Amino acid sequence: MKVIIPLLAVALAAISPSTNRIRKASLLHYGPTPISARASVPDSAKRNLTIDDYFRIKAVTDPQISPDGKWVAYVVTTASLKDDKNDDRVWMISSDSGEAIPLTADDESSSHPRWSPDGKYLAFLSARDGGKKQIWLLNRQGGEAEQLTRTIQDVDDFVWSPTGDRLVLVLQDPTPDETVAAKYKGEQDDDDKPKPKPRPWVIDRLHFKEDEIGYLDRRRMHLYVFSIADRKLTQITSSDYDDTAAAWSPDGRSIAFVSNRSAHPDRNFNDEIWVVAAGNTNEGKDLVRITTNPGTDGAPAWSPDGKWIAFTSQFDPKLFQYATFQLGIAPATGGEEKVLTLALDRNVSSPLFSRDGKSIYFIADDDGTQNLLSVPVSGGQITRPIGGRLMLDAYSVSANGSIAAQIGATDRPDEVYILPANGALRRLTITNDALMSQIQLASVDYVHFKSKDGTTIAGYIVKPPDYQPGHRYPTILQPHGGPVWAYYAEFNFQPQLYAASGYVVLLPNPRGSSGYGQNFCKAIYADWGDKDYQDDMAMVDYAVAQGIADPEKLGVGGHSYGAISTNFIIAQTTRFKAAISDAGEFLYITNWGHDQYVREWEIELGLPWENRALWEKLSPFNRVTKIATPTLIVGGDADANVPVINGEQMYESLKWLGVPTLLVVYPGEYHEFRRPSFIKDRWERNLAWFNHYVKGEGPAIPPSPPAIAPE
């Protein structure tokens, strides 16, 4: 049973929409978090952003601070147009600042760096020489990396034991081909080895498909303990369940993990926290169940004394993605669960205990930002060790209390920052500074406005670098994905690209968005295209009323739920001159049994043969004769999240009705595109489509590049 701990002697946070400031009676108090700025470069020496800059900007992620707080390892990802691939590389930098040091080669993609407890070694994941993704070990003082594991399948995740003598690995059961290949490993004559043959997919699960995976069988994710001394691997969980998010107890005797072990896990989202003995030889049949909430629990983290486990938790299983993730704690032996953030009413993630065990850090999704917050383990006043209009995506904590964090802002791609135990936040890495100093970026304003029914809505307005007040600009409304997601105070390349091309870009956070409370989020439950449509239109009306947007030159386009929003927007209004629907849904009944959302559809809309009227009411297909907007439709042919059949049906319908339209399908791409050349092609087509129909400039379809680029 859950027990709610009230936040002591404080009122619910009240954020003023007009000033975006936290009132004195708030639960949240900002700490001093100054962020160093880049060196100033004269605007006359700068240029506008281009598509090719996307492939020059490096993504900085996964900061991991060493136990002594002296070093931070992190990952830098580069998208190469020349090689048409993405590469990850592990770097390290001193927490006292200085030159960043590459730890892995740029031709050997490596990720997930994790320090040994004594700080002498750094383990990471890498698939080298065409092999499986394995754990490699690197001495911090130098030398070649040593391969630790040699599993027949990829290593999906790993965590060091507190004593540094073991690792817990997350491995998926091997495929038949992997098992056969392992049997013949080491044979000298490759011609004698059996070659993999195509196999039929044999499906017997309710939830049988996932994007980027394909059809799902009964191969499951389980936990294994790996002994570094003798390279011995011992399986400690088993059965027809997936086990993930492993976390060691401080004494190294137990491991907490997340698993849905309900009677019908494909029918619900009832992930729970469990504990298994690290020395279990019964393959995890002797487990301790820590949480009993019927909703989703995750992200277990142990207290330093081993008595408590912190976790994230959603209360209402019927709301699934619309429900707020709260921060909870429970005894490590199981028992009464306590919730620490109920009054906060914001999604929390990534909990970690402070080193003294008196408080718990977590990331909070709040008002178009993500900040690092902290709450006492007994409940009480919530503070913000790292706060402000910024985007904090990840962090780690050293033994001395220093925090390394991945932080970005609207005018700066993510970099690594450090917050010393007794100091101010400062930036460590300058990965993209040289490039960004050459570019005159668009300005980004966070604004509030009223929707049709009086509800206050927020969003970001991105203005061209040469924006002049009093001049109206062609404007693109870009609804976000999700629907439970938001636009944040982070560097967002696509609207920056549109702005560099002379557009104002509107990024609304309508009802359904996270960061504004559960009631705001669930307002569109089973009612897509109603309140969120009104909120999106309200931002357009606001931009027009402010003299920013040209009402005669409007475009709309988005990806995923942003494309779904686009579809129901153009089915309700003709005020937009052009639309782009990128991986959107059109005739919802088509997705039943074809996409990966069997559970979500049933929970939110009901079974289609029982509640067909609601399915049809919400589908833009049934208002297709209202669509007159020229529409570019985009999709990946391997997308199981929003299958391209939606785009095909929309294209065929608009084509039949005589609406200007174009369908572009990218081979081998999932919901999120990976191939750099396809990403470039998509942006070139987007700009051409908007330029032609919104601005009246150039052809709607850019010339296709040659199939083989010249040497």
Q: Is the pLDDT of residue 18 over 50?
A: no
Instruction: Give residue 496's domain range.
Output: 442-695
Task: Give the separation between CA 333 and CA 354, rounded to whole angstroms.
Answer: 21
Sheet with 221-227, side-by-side order of all strands: 155-160, 166-172, 221-227, 233-235
Residue 166 placed within a domain: no
Does residue 71 sit in helix, strand or coil? strand
Question: How many DSSP H helices and E strands does the chain contain?
Answer: 10, 40
User: By the 8 A CB rule, do 290 and 273 touch?
Assistant: yes
Give the pLDDT confidence score for residue 3 in this predicted structure: 33
Q: Which two tokens stand for residue 683?
A: 């942006």
pLDDT in tens, 144-175: 899 999 999 999 999 999 999 999 999 999 98
Binned at pLDDT 50, 70 and 90, residue 34 comes out as very low
* pLDDT score of 629 more than 70: yes
pLDDT, one tens digit per residue, over 351-362 is 999 999 999 999
CB distance 459 to 478 below 8 Å: no
Before 483, cis peptide (omega within 30)?
A: yes
The DSSP letter of residue 344 is G
Phi, psi of 223 (to 5 degrees): -100, 140
Report yes or no on 639 lying in a domain: yes
Q: Is 222 within 8 Å of 237 (Cβ atoms)?
A: yes
Task: Give the range among 12-26, 600-614, 679-693 with minimum mean pLDDT.
Answer: 12-26
The pTM of the full predicted model, rounded to 2 decimals, is 0.92
Residue 6 has pLDDT above 70, yes or no: no
pLDDT at 61: 98
Residue 593 resides in a domain: yes
Q: Containing H/E element for 471?
A: none
Domain assignment present for 20: no
Q: Is residue 96 part of a domain?
A: no
Mean pLDDT, range 24-45, rounded to an integer: 47
* Phi–psi pair at 434, nearest 5 degrees: -60, -45
What integer pLDDT is reported at residue 75 of this predicted model?
98
**Which tokens sit at 233?**
């691997």
As a whole number, mean pLDDT of residues 4-8 equals: 29
Give pLDDT, residue 2. Answer: 34
Question: Within a domain: residue 676?
Answer: yes
- The first and second tokens of residue 436, run together, are 């960004």
**Within-domain flag for 500:** yes
Nearest by Cα to 165 from 223, 120, 110:
120
Reference 334, options 374, 297, 360; nearest CA is 297
pLDDT, tens only, 408-449:
999 999 999 999 998 999 999 999 999 999 999 999 999 999
pLDDT in tens, 212-242: 999 999 999 999 999 999 999 999 999 999 9
CATH number of the domain encompassing residue 552: 3.40.50.1820
Q: What is the pLDDT of residue 284?
A: 63
Find out whether 495 and 475 touch, Cβ atoms under 8 Å.
no
User: Which whole number is the average pLDDT over 332-358?
Assistant: 96
Task: Give, for 685, the enclosing helix (H) or strand (E).
Answer: helix 676-690
- DSSP 8-state class, residue 576: -
- Backbone torsions φ then ψ of 637, nearest 5 degrees: -75, -10
Look at residue 487 in the predicted model and tell me its pLDDT: 98
76 neighbors 105 (Cβ within 8 angstroms): no
Q: Work out the average pLDDT over 124-143.
A: 91
Residue 153: its pLDDT value, please?
Answer: 96
The pair of three-digit structure tokens given for residue 551, joined into one six-digit string: 């009402």
Comparing 188-197, 282-291, 688-697, the range with the smallest average pLDDT is 188-197
What tokens were used for 567? 């579809």
Instruction: For residue 243, tell me if it sits in a domain.
Output: no
pLDDT digits (tens, 9 = 90+) for 663-696: 999 999 999 999 999 999 999 999 999 999 999 9
- What is the number of structural domains in the chain? 1
Over its C-alpha atoms, the chain yields an Rg (Å, rounded) of: 26
The pLDDT assigned to 25 comes to 26
